[in-house]
Copies of this chain bind each other. A is one copy, B any other.
């Protein structure tokens, strides 16, 4: 079975690890958010692509939850000592990747091509695509001003409540090469347990990707990022509450109107199942916390079980 997965960073990356454990990795294509990409110290950083690359290569730092294992921090210490831009935490091993990618982008290589090279160099067997090679940037409007995503998320500690999420460049952004093909050839479309607004939202803001999902002829299954109405990590619950009026699984389903056929929800949110059904979305109740490889595989299998609903 071929699957295409829309994915954000850490949660999506863990979900992908489970998928490639239960499917032939060559049949898995990850279509990854680039809305929170940024330039730091002149380097092109793609946090979600990196989280996916590191997770699938088995070199992610599991405890910290981002970046690389066995990381060192010498360069950033120097940057700090010299008064440089140090708000975004770049480890040395991580920096090596940003240097290679930035160099290639400056030489005119598209992000998708660089990502394919990095994927191969890291020994990853599935396909990892940026949603778009074009510039697309997520902005959040808050009562305290508008901020580029990483400035809000990292520099401001995502404390400002979000009134609106915008995607600069989305109107002109084309799907990266391979994205539409992957969506058309998949027998199952998946939306990873990532933040619907700032991880999946930027992918769906690319008009031709959203259209491909709307016109799908195969099931699309999202995995809720909530457990007991709370996000495992990050601001998803706060944003759902403010932007969708609540943190139940039904509010997650509402983020994907006309786009999903089933929603995998956690056992702790089982009471939301009826409300999800009423939206025309089939609830699939299971354990969703990906605490280890077995849990990741079980979640992947629960999502894949939905292929039968078409």
A residues at B contact (CB < 8 Å): 41-43, 71-72, 74-79, 81-85, 91-97, 99-100, 102-103, 106, 117-118, 121-122
Contact = CB atoms under 8 A, between A and B. Distances in A.
A56 to B, nearest CB: 15
A78 B103 CA distance: 14
Contacts of A78: 92-97, 100
A94 B81 CA distance: 12
Q: How many copies does the complex hold?
A: 2
Contacts of A97: 78, 82
Residue in A43, A79, A100 with the greatest tally of chain B CB atoms within 10 Å:
A100
Contacts of A81: 96, 121-122
A73 B220 CA distance: 44
Given A72-B72, A75-B75, A82 B96 contact: yes
A117 B74 contact: no
Given A42-B106, A74-B92, A92-B72, A99 B79 contact: yes
Nearest to A81: B121
Contacts of A83: 100, 117, 121
18 contacts: A41-B100, A41-B102, A42-B99, A74-B96, A75-B92, A75-B95, A75-B96, A78-B96, A78-B97, A79-B96, A79-B99, A81-B96, A81-B122, A82-B96, A82-B100, A83-B100, A83-B117, A85-B103
A169 to B, nearest CB: 21
A93 B77 contact: yes
Contacts of A72: 72, 74, 92
Given A42-B102, A78-B94, A79-B96, 18 more contacts: A41-B102, A42-B99, A42-B106, A72-B92, A74-B95, A74-B96, A76-B96, A78-B93, A78-B95, A78-B97, A78-B100, A79-B99, A79-B100, A81-B96, A83-B100, A83-B121, A84-B103, A85-B103
Residue in A71, A83, A95 with the greatest tally of chain B CB atoms within 10 Å:
A95
A93 to B, nearest CB: 5
A121 B82 contact: yes
A262 B4 CA distance: 75
Contacts of A75: 75, 92-93, 95-96, 99
Contact of A74 (B74, B85, B121): B74
Contacts of A100: 41, 78-79, 82-85
A62 B76 CA distance: 23
